[in-house]
Amino acid sequence: MRRPLVAGNWKMHGTKASVRALVEGIRQGMGEVAGVEVAVCPPFVYLERVSTLLADSDIALGAQNLCQVPQAGAYTGEISDAMLLEFGCRYVIIGHSERRNVYGEDDALVAQKCVVAARAGLTPIVCVGELLEEREAGHTEQVVGRQLAALLEAEGGLEALRRAVIAYEPVWAIGTGRTATPQQAQEVHAFIRTRLGEHDEQLARDIRILYGGSVKPGNAADLFGMADIDGGLIGGASLDAGDFLAICRAARP
Ligand code: PGA
């Protein structure tokens, strides 16, 4: 049985005061989400604070990115795997579409980051997904297949995927209020599982595949009800404790 995971991607949001209120709000509702793994991914500068606020809770901490070079080095502006571990991170989001599309991260870099994270003992949440024009041209499987191939073919990539979570996030659904229908999402999730199964059947059975893109309290249950959807990566709605908890409740097994 794959344990459902709901992870909040706070992106570049928050203040010292608001992250405290948000964590306190989420903590209060954790009694109602039995069986669901819950994680929050604040901006780097709040990791230490959030880690302290999460003490003695069942909520896991994640980061939103990491450097593709392990440990330490002359990489101005970057944050390493070792730093994330020292600050209590279990998860790290990798290859989010905003990293790919705004900062030009390509498939090879995303794969490198995935391997570095997994080797450090972090759980990478690796994002894949197509642009609107790619979907409209009928290229969704081609694009997601290419993104997966880069992960599978990287040195150490298959090993890293055994520790990873995949997030399918159609780019046209992120922050737009336009969600993939449960059927549209399920089709791609099934494709991802099948494609991974061609390399490793056990991996395909075990790996959690999250859906992300305008998940809200009102649509979460239908999405999470699909056979190959194992939870969600939540952006906007994760900034409101009540909405985030409602989404977590919808993921209960
Ligand atoms: P959204 O973002 O829920 O605001 O659409 C999801 C994501 O980008 O991870």
- The tokens describing 70, both together, are 């392990």
Ligand 1 mean position, distance from CA 235 (Å): 3
Model pLDDT, residue 205: 98
Which atom of ligand 1 sits closest to the CA of residue 214? 5
**What are the pocket residues of ligand 1 if the criterion is a CB atom closer than 6 Å to any ligand atom?**
9, 169, 174-175, 212-215, 233-237
Task: Render pLDDT for 70-81 as a digit per residue (tens, 0 to 9).
Answer: 999 999 999 999
Sign of CA dihedral 137, 188, 143, 68: positive
Rounded-to-integer distance, Cα 115 and Cα 185, Å: 26
Other C-beta atoms lying within 10 Å of the C-beta of residue 236: 18
CATH 3.20.20.70 at 5-213, yes or no:
yes
Per-domain residue ranges for the chain?
5-213
Give residue 175's pLDDT.
87
Report the helix count and the strand count for the chain, using DSSP H and E.
12, 8
**What pLDDT is recorded for position 178?**
87
CA of 73 to the centre of ligand 1 (A): 31
Total residues found in the chain within this entry: 253
- pLDDT of 1 reads 83
Q: pLDDT-derived band of residue 87, with 50, 70 and 90 as boundaries?
A: very high
With beta carbons less than 8 A apart as the criterion, state whether 59 and 245 touch: no
Residue from 5, 125, 128, 169 whose mutation best tests the ligand 1 pocket (most atoms within 8 A of CB):
169
Residue 44 CB burial class (10 angstroms; 0-12, 13-18, ≥19)? middle
Indicate if the pLDDT at residue 177 is higher than 90: no
Mean pLDDT of the chain: 97
What's the token pair of residue 122? Answer: 């972090």
Burial of 31 (0-12, 13-18, 19+ CB in 10 A): exposed
Q: What is the C-alpha to C-alpha distance for residues 201 and 195, in angstroms, rounded to an integer?
A: 10
Which protein residue's CA is at the shortest distance from atom 2 of ligand 1? 235
The residues annotated as belonging to the active site are 96, 169
14-48 per-position pLDDT tens digit:
999 999 999 999 999 999 999 999 999 999 999 99
Cα–Cα dist 22/219, whole Å: 22
Q: In this predicted model, what pLDDT tens digit does every residue of 139-170 receive, in sequence order? A: 999 999 999 999 999 999 999 999 999 999 99
